[in-house]
Amino acid sequence: MARRIIIDTDPGQDDAVAILLALASPEIELLGLTAVAGNVPLHLTSRNARMVCELAGRTDIPVFAGCDAPLERKLVTAEHVHGKSGLDGPDLPEPTMALQDRHAVDFIIDTLRAEPAGTVTLCPLGPLTNIASAFRRAPDIIDRVQEIVLMGGAYFEVGNYTPAAEFNIYVDPEAAAEVFASGIPLVVMPLDVTHKALVTGPRNEAIRALGTPVGKAVAEMTDFFERFDLEKYGSAGAPLHDPCVTAYLLKPEIFSGRHINVEIETVSELTLGMTVADWWGVSGRAPNATFIGDLDSDAFFTLLTERLAKL
Ligand code: RIB
Ligand code: CA
């Protein structure tokens, strides 16, 4: 039985690779893509999501536009990382497939109500605004979610947008706090693990050597995306943050982490959006998340490259 998922996304080069990996994997049934404002504004994330589907030849995937701003705050974006379009790097054509008429939040609610309880996994790759909005508007769907596997937060790595906070959580901390408090089985891919999924030169050349439009586009996305992290961290390549979510669905055994308590800072301006991860169990607060700290990066890239070759 394929894992049936909704990917909530703010493409974003790394989101794009996560979506492509899902589309290349028969173990996953992608029910729809819900776009959210994040890396770039909503009109671009909803455009980019469709461009990725067209790149993969999957115009059958419904794409929905969702929230264009966080629940209670002004939108913060990351063009300095992803470029003005959010998908800088490859020269991809404008999408011709249409956006769905329904709002993304309605799609999430309708799908969770229509499908058997416990059979749909939510995979947020951006700020959690759409997800929290769906839970606020339809609390009855919370118990129907099979699992949430998301990219966000940090512990040892601390923040990438502020000294304390990772971007996805920082953009909408109130939404993140509500999702982390939902009681839904939650797997978190923080910077601690995603900064170990680095697209080194040889790894990117193996993807480019696929010789396909997808291989070429992904290599060009990474060529663009890596410059920020090379300059900031001196890292050996671009970190593939969001594809860790898809890879976890496919091969959870290549990841390791701990089931701990994770709370979200929503008050202090100094540490707003921090994921306060009780890694050593000192708070006495009940565990609410499997917080991933490590992966077998060679196995990750072998999986990714093998699957991208199928598109
Ligand atoms: O901090 C990394 C996260 O923020 C990734 O999901 C990236 O796409 C951006 O959304
Ligand atoms: Ca993202």
Sketch out the chain's domains with CATH numbers. 3-308 (3.90.245.10)
Choose the residue to mutate in 36, 52, 125, 275 for probing ligand 1, maximizing ligand atoms within 8 Å of C-beta. Answer: 125
Q: What is the pTM of this model?
A: 0.97
Instruction: Report whether residue 39 contacts ligand 1, using a CB cutoff of 6 Å.
Output: yes
* H-type alpha helices, 209-254: 213-233, 243-250
Atom of ligand 1 nearest to the CA of 194: 2
Catalytic residue among 80, 195, 241, 259: 241
* H-type alpha helices, 99-141: 104-114, 129-137
85 class by beta-carbon count within 10 Å (0-12 exposed, 13-18 middle, 19+ buried):
middle
Per-residue pLDDT of the chain (311 residues; tens, 9 = 90+): 899 999 999 999 999 999 999 999 999 999 999 999 999 999 999 999 999 999 999 999 999 999 999 999 999 999 999 999 999 999 999 999 999 999 999 999 999 999 999 999 999 999 999 999 999 999 999 999 999 999 999 999 788 999 999 999 999 999 999 999 999 999 999 999 999 999 999 999 999 999 999 999 999 999 998 887 787 778 788 999 999 999 999 999 999 999 999 999 999 999 999 999 999 999 999 999 999 999 999 999 999 999 999 99
241 is catalytic: yes
Q: Which amino acid is at 2?
A: A
- Which pair of structure tokens corresponds to residue 257? 């982490």
Choose the residue to mutate in 123, 162, 168 for probing ligand 1, maximizing ligand atoms within 8 Å of C-beta. Answer: 168
Atom of ligand 1 nearest to the CA of 11: 8
Instruction: Report whether residue 12 contacts ligand 1, using a CB cutoff of 6 Å.
Output: yes
Instruction: Report whether residue 151 contacts ligand 1, using a CB cutoff of 6 Å.
Output: yes
Positive or negative: CA dihedral 293, 161, 214, 201:
negative
What count of residues does the chain have? 311
Q: Which residues contact 306 (CB under 8 A, 6 or more apart)?
A: none
Long-range contacts of 221-224 (CB under 8 A, 24+ apart): 221/13, 221/16, 221/17, 221/87, 221/89, 221/90, 222/13, 222/89, 223/89, 224/13, 224/83, 224/88, 224/89
Q: Buried b vs exposed e over 105-144: b needs ≥16 C-beta within 10 Å?
A: bbbbbebbeeeeeeebbbbbbbbbbbbbbbbeebeebeeb
Q: How many CB atoms lie within 10 A of CB 73?
A: 18
Give the H or E element holding residue 145. strand 145-151
